[in-house]
Amino acid sequence: MWFSKSPQDVMKELGVNPAVGLSDEEAKVRLEKYGMNKLKGKPKKSIISLFLSQLKDMLIYVLLAAAVITLVIGEIADSIIILLVIILNAAIGVIQEYKAEKAVEALQKMTTPRSVVRRGGVIKEINSEQVVPGDIIILDAGRFVSADLRLIESANLQIEESALTGESVPTQKKADSIFVDPKTPVGDKTNMAFLSTLVTYGRGEGVVVATAMETEIGMIAKILEDDNEEMTPLQKRLDELGRILGFLAIGICALIFVIALIQKRDLFEMFLTAISLAVAAIPEGLAAIVAIVLALGVTRMSKINAIVKKLPAVETLGSVNIICSDKTGTLTQNKMTVVKQYTSGKLSEVSQTEVNQVATPDEKELIRSFVLCSDATYENGQGTGDPTEIALIILGDKFGLGRVNVNTKHKRVSENPFDSDRKLMSTLNTEGDNYRVHTKGAIDNILKLSTSALVDGQVVPLTEQLRADYLKITEDMSDSALRVLGVAYKDTTTIIAPEEMEKDLIILGLVGMIDPPRLEVKDSITEAKRAGIRPVMITGDHKNTAVAIAKELGIADSIEQSLTGAEIDNLSDEVFAANINNYRVFARVSPEHKVKIVRAFKAQGNIVSMTGDGVNDAPSLKFADIGVAMGITGTDVAKGASDMILTDDNFTTIVHAIEEGRNIYNNIKKSVIFLLSCNLGEVIAIFISILLNWPVPLIATQILWVNLITDSLPAIALGIDPGDKDVMKQQPRNPKESFFARGAGLRAVIGGSLIGLFTLIAFYYGLWEHGYVLGSGVVPEEALPYARTMAFVVLAASQLFYSLSMRNSTKSIFKIGFFTNKILVAAIIVGILLQLVVISIPFLADAFGVRNLSLQDWGLVIGFSLIPLIANELIKFFRRMKDK
């Protein structure tokens, strides 16, 4: 509560004399007591802990169980294969998270700012980490504030606090202010200066009242320490799927034993069969395939300027239906820009893109006076000084009145600096053989000091009508959330004293400036709304400014859709959460409010993406489903708290990332449904053969080969399908929606049943060819491996062909185009070649228990294999007919 105490009381409490500062010995004692002035970072995860965190997954647990069982029964090769899949899956996740961490480190600027302090009566520069409570800090323009300070002196001191409050305009500081209200917002504490903010103008002195984690920024860092690891919708779906498959495998094994007892079959043989069935029920490659698809998606996203830090975050993007965005720097350009200028009787717009614009003679005088009465610089796209003045220098550049040229021609000989009481600044410059005063500042004060006006090149008396015109234009600009600045001049033959400058002025006019929206954002917001995504603006800025920008961008329609932080405080959490969907703009909010807003949206079942760049955004980035930080203007704290970083700081990239996220989820769903169809086919083939008291058509090694090789290649290819061009015309997916929604479950059952049935038919045909008919007791010795080979080929080939049909649930393969996914075509060809290799090479054929097939049987198995594909295409055809 330092802001509610006078500087004298603060000094007394901290035991320091401002004229002398702390002694070096006292500073050492305090450094021991309070510690170094640096924020605590989270300890980095080791590669091992990253690896182990990848194994916390239900599917992985099921695979580990399968590996242990296969090892116990002596199937060492199978066990090793399953363990390799688990390691591959974890390795992909580790590599991706490690790469993202390195990318974040590369984005961080390695800087240790220095501080100017008074110690033992001497002013010296020290490393900011050595600053302690009670230190007297000297502030001047261009220096970062190194701790939280209670100001004890201020002379025209302005501090840019956008990283902390979200306001793009610097705050005017006053050391002698005292605030009694304990709820005074950070942005309104004008007697304080905060860690990581930047002095843009004037000078001051302050006493350090908090360092490191006790500062305002430290408080935010503490909020970030609370681990809030929620599972993403995809992780929840896969976890649920893992449980279902795990219980299914146990259920199948139990059922097999019951059947074995009824049929009085050999129990050990049936145990091996049950293991085969359990292996068939679990898609061993699924976890690895999902990880590969996500990793490839992340690589694609990095090409559109989005660095994803955690793999599952990619898919969550596809479910996002609310984008909460910080205003300053994300939706706007974070630079004040003059957009309108007014000279008597003429209001004109200033183009944001055009250079060498043409001005009237009166406008030239207006712009020249503004440029001469500014201390800022702007060269090669870089500005220094007050953002308002930088905007005036850029205005001069646009109209061919560059700062250097104008100042060379009209040298400054004297000035009356800006101060917050007058709200004015004046300079005295040469004008030919004489001198001219240029005064800029608040329009009300300019009008009070003016007796004349420049109208069409003529100096005329400032009538009440003219005065009313200036005030009307000012009011209109203010209603549009523009910051208004007036300018006036007067000629003099001699150098006059500063206190004589601001009398009997001639008003030239005024300009309106704003931190303008990014040019490309409006189209992105339209696209987002079309895709069922609601953009929401959250800012520390004033309500009118925020609503004006929101209206221009199409985020809000009226001021009724906005709420301030103070208004949020007056609502209970329940009432706020119940009405949250009525609001589009939240202004004048603190970091705590941002978290409250995100939580309220989430409480209504929304999937929330929060974007931001300032330290003040970090807690809400952490609590959102997807936290998106800015890579260029973003603070390290924001990047650390986020799930995704935009390397181009562009809101538009978020919309592209959401599109990518939707396509990635659809692709994962295709892969999952495809794999489950294949596994269902295997289960049906084995289960029916047991019910019919036939030999088992497939052995465990063959099933593992199909699950890990034959299935996996097309599943990965489906996972990187080019995606649906119309995906952003659809509403966001309900995060609670199952993988099997919208008919996907039925397609899996039909596909799996057909694959299983034709695998059995091929198996029976192979037995029949070798003289075995239903009811015959003994199977001829050569018949079983041959029949199993036919079943093995049909199972593998039908799955390969069936993958073509999985690319789209409604469009035919001819409409999508066979070669629009060349990787899938290659996967099918490679899969068939691998089947040929296994059957043709003797030592592999022995390991898999297969035989060479006759040419006629090859034709037959290929024919059988095409039937599930044809059937699925016919189902799609009839569905399209029905929809028409």
CA gap 168, 584 in Å, rounded: 20
3-state secondary structure 438-468: EEEECHHHHHHHEEEEEECCEEEECCHHHHH
Element (H, E) at 8: helix 7-14
**How far apart are the two ends of the chain, measured CA to CA in Å?**
69
846 is annotated as an active-site residue: no
CA gap 6, 27 in Å, rounded: 23
Cβ-contact 373, 439 below 8 angstroms: yes
Cross-strand pairs, 483 = 513
Amino acid at 191: N
CA gap 725, 718 in Å, rounded: 16
Tell me if residue 742 falls in helix, strand or coil.
coil
Classify residue 19 by burial, with Cβ atoms within 10 Å: 0-12, 13-18, 19+.
exposed
Closest among 376, 354, 347, 352 to 440, alpha carbons compared: 376
Cross-strand pairs, 171 = 159
Closest among 435, 489, 515, 472 to 166, alpha carbons compared: 515
3-state secondary structure 353-400: CCCCCCCCHHHHHHHHHHHHCCCCEEECCEEECCHHHHHHHHHHHHCC
Q: At what angle do helices 58-72 and 233-263 cross, to 10 degrees?
A: 30
Cβ-contact 588, 565 below 8 angstroms: yes
Amino acid at 594: K
* Joined tokens for residue 866: 């095409």
Tell me if residue 588 falls in helix, strand or coil.
coil
3-state secondary structure 746-812: HHHHHHHHHHHHHHHHHHHHHHHHCCCCCCCCCCCCCHHHHHHHHHHHHHHHHHHHHHHHCCCCCCC
* Residue appearing with tokens 């302090």: 117
Radius of gyration of the chain (CA): 36
Phi-psi region of 42 (alpha: psi -120 to 50; beta: other; left: phi over 0): beta
Element (H, E) at 225: helix 216-225
Tell me if residue 182 falls in helix, strand or coil.
coil
CA gap 120, 134 in Å, rounded: 12
Sequence-ordered strand ranges (E) for 74-147:
114-119, 122-127, 136-140
* Residue appearing with tokens 């970030």: 224
Active-site residue identified among 326, 362, 386, 613: 326
Cβ-contact 689, 773 below 8 angstroms: no
Classify residue 141 by burial, with Cβ atoms within 10 Å: 0-12, 13-18, 19+.
middle
CA gap 429, 446 in Å, rounded: 19
Cβ-contact 553, 525 below 8 angstroms: yes
CA gap 187, 198 in Å, rounded: 14
Cβ-contact 126, 117 below 8 angstroms: yes
H-only helix segments in 231-360: 233-263, 267-281, 286-303, 312-319
Active site residues: 326
